[in-house]
A = this chain, B = another copy of it.
Amino acid sequence: MKIGIVGSGNMGGGLGKIWAKAGHQVIFSYSRDENKLHQLAAAAGENAKVGTPEDAVAQSDVVLLAVWVPFLEEALKSIGSLDGKIIITCVSGLQPDFTGKTIGIATELKTSVAEIIQQFAPKANVVEAFNITFAEIIAAESRQFGSDCPSIFYCGDDAEAKTIVADLIRECGYEPVDAGELIVARSLETLATAWVQFAVASKLFPNLGLQALRR
């Protein structure tokens, strides 16, 4: 697949690197440090390159939006048309300092970051994913915890887009768990923020994976 990374920080850079090494064509974009982008692409190998956010979107089928929430609006306005693209968002209410101003009561929330993106780009297929893991785990050599692998919950309204995202999750070494429609992002983003904050407070961060058990 052709994957554009918008927000090539620890999350976006790490996931893009894994996908490039798995054989996907990856374009890294949107960092405040142009040098870092080039270092990242070099480390990711021959399937990776650097581009503008517009390039990253225009040349890709799948776009990973991995920016902190304060930069979301700026990022969305800088990337051109998202029509027909699969947008993966891992943007939760978490702020760069790990506080979470936008966390709310999940059952009373009127929207989510994922739904705001979908509303901004109604002809894109937005899928929320990757917010129940840490950049440190993505950057590690493997996602395995012994014989177990952590789960990634994902949700979205388009079945085909969800299947593609589930495969991309699996290729990163996680187990994809379908959490339903995009509206579920309201509670998934709340859970994601709570999970990170709990991990930090309990000092279990960052060597902590969440495995969803089903029966």
Contact = CB atoms under 8 A, between A and B. Distances in A.
Given A98-B107, A212-B204, A213-B150, A191 B187 contact: no
Interface in A164-184: 177, 179-180, 183-184
A153 B202 contact: yes
- The listed residue with most B CB atoms (<10 A of its CB), out of A179, A180, A186, A201, is A201
A99 B105 contact: yes
B148 A197 contact: no
Contacts of A204: 177, 179, 212, 214
A198 interface: yes
Interface in A114-168: 145-146, 148, 150, 153, 155
Contacts of A208: 212-214
Interface in A188-215: 188, 190-191, 193-195, 197-198, 200-204, 207-215
Interface of A: 98-101, 103-108, 145-146, 148, 150, 153, 155, 177, 179-180, 183-184, 186-188, 190-191, 193-195, 197-198, 200-204, 207-215
